[in-house]
Amino acid sequence: MKLTKHAHACVTLGKDDTRLVIDPGTFTPDAAEAVSRAHAVLITHEHFDHFDEKLVAAALEAQPDLQVYGTAAVAAALGSRNGRVHAVSAGDTLTVGSLTATVHGHRHALIHADIPCPDNVGYLFDDGALYHPGDAYFVPGPPVRTLLLPTSGPWTKLGEAADFVRAVKPERIIQIHELMLSDLGQQSTAGLLGENGLTGTPIGRLEPGTTVQL
């Protein structure tokens, strides 16, 4: 499996001839290009930085074979599109071409008691090869080799992030959702949460456009 990092929380996964895009939101400048080459789009939750509704709706019109998976709110926003939009929740399994994912978690992490928490799901791919948690520190249970770790945003706390990594026990971490951190902030976060910090786990910072083999 190959992973391409895009800006913020968006990534592309490729295996054999299958391509999936996760969380193409409005903070990702090349989201439309990534989605145009995808067989499926997976959305963790409805917030605009993860789900550009207009972009995904346009892609569904332009790409007759495109499938979209997301929470009930995401599915309701897009409509059925002749059965190509699928609502998923914890415990579900989905397969697109060569890639299989199980669905984990229920709710977005708390920002503040006055701000509602939408549903949020994470996707665990290919028997633990990769876990994208969306905006939550939900531990999926099965072993995880590569964890995509959110490191900035109004809900994130580095102490909770460290405990999340310790609970998941991945072999390595790749930062996502890092757009709100300066370069110095990203370096500091990596130092605190990485191999020589609180988790003892190697942490990678990938520039948008970078592709790595998992």
| pLDDT tens for each residue of 77-131 | 999 999 999 999 999 999 999 999 999 999 999 999 999 999 999 999 999 999 9
Return the SS3 of 191: helix
* Edge-first strand listing for the sheet containing 130-132: 93-96, 99-104, 122-125, 130-132, 146-150, 172-176, 203-204
Reported pTM? 0.97
